[in-house]
Structure 1
């Protein structure tokens, strides 16, 4: 007996623009002609990348995210994608300049991504921009993030899974917060930790749109 063929996966996005084209410089003529299959919100359909970034810049949240990249951390792409989802003001890569962008799913195009040679350069930048440096690591003496109050203007810093934050970065943190765990593993990867920490900030400071409640 032949099994039924699986239903085709639904197409993402929208097809070519129907009707007169909009007289608005935010729209991309190629997307209007061919359709927009990007993974973007409906309000940004057919917009150019530059127009989307400009609009997001008007509503960025005042927290930044940094991750140390001493050994080509594969979690950076995931951190970038989550930072885009929560509209972070910026993402900072510390150490190696090159990182695996595959996990970012091109979301780095819609963010401001910065590079710093070392922890000193990062914290100098944070000080110049009045950001409180908050480390996320389960080191001795760390405070559970579930009970902590996050500063509104802050830089959340993450290390690599295993070694965690470097000593230089830990020494520059105003506070170190840990994510409470209940299983057997000692740590969770930086991508998951970053998502939890960013969402903790959102719960404390973001204005939640009525439609999203």
Structure 2
């Protein structure tokens, strides 16, 4: 139990989707009751232990999403899910951190949300049955598909100029992006590796690629 937080539950079990009260958050509102319509009355009364930045403390879920929608970046993220990839939750969580416009899941609709740490509530997620469906969406939205995979002919991500309106496409752990995805992509970028392993974790690769886009196109002054 965190002795600095008298409201912490001594029997609380750390959950897989939210930080526990003993680690993060704020207790019930103290002082004059606020009139801000963005605030959630239940959170004000009971405290807000969600894993959100302080600027969103006590805000309702809808209010947070609405504010994020005003600031979302121009890039989208897609990940293939033909083998129930366990990394999808991590990709969603990272997409939330870098404020991707949308996350697209290609293949099986069901995915393990444990790694998302509840960030899927704040992130727009779209499902496509096939890569062809994803490509059709990207074309209609004016997005350039950029596959991330260490394949022959790929361009090093470290030196590549990523399109501002990009859809970053990731394959599954092990096999990487499918042949259909390779054909749908305008360009394929590789991530430089120097060790013995053939590939890196798909969730890690997604974070590296998203950060590369942020370094090239995002307004860093708007970061928290």
Tell me, yes or no, if structure 1 residue 208 matches structure 2 residue 214.
Answer: no
Counterpart secondary structure, 1:39? coil
Q: How does 1:64-143 map to 2 (within 5 A)?
A: 64-143=76-155
TM-score (norm 1): 0.94
Aligned pairs, how many? 207
The RMSD of aligned alpha carbons is 1.5
Moved more, 23-32 or 174-183: 23-32
Spell out structure 1 runs of 4+ moving beyond 2 A: 6-11
Paired residue for 1:177? 189
Counterpart secondary structure, 2:101? strand
Paired residue for 1:146? 158
Query: Following the alignment from structure 2 to structure 1, what is the Cα–Cα distance between the partners of residues 220 and 149?
Result: 28
Paired residue for 1:24? 36
Counterpart secondary structure, 1:30? helix
Query: Following the alignment from structure 1 to structure 2, what is the Cα–Cα distance between the partners of residues 132 and 186?
Result: 27
Paired residue for 1:163? 175
Unaligned runs of 5+ in 1: 1-5
Query: Following the alignment from structure 1 to structure 2, what is the Cα–Cα distance between the partners of residues 163 and 122?
Result: 19
Query: Following the alignment from structure 2 to structure 1, what is the Cα–Cα distance between the partners of residues 31 and 163?
Result: 48
TM-score (norm 2): 0.89
Per-residue deviation, 1:129: 0.4
Per-residue deviation, 1:20: 1.9
Instruction: Assess, with a 3 A threshold, how the Cα gap between structure 1 residues 166 and 8 changes in structure 2: closer, same or farther.
Output: farther
Counterpart secondary structure, 2:102? strand
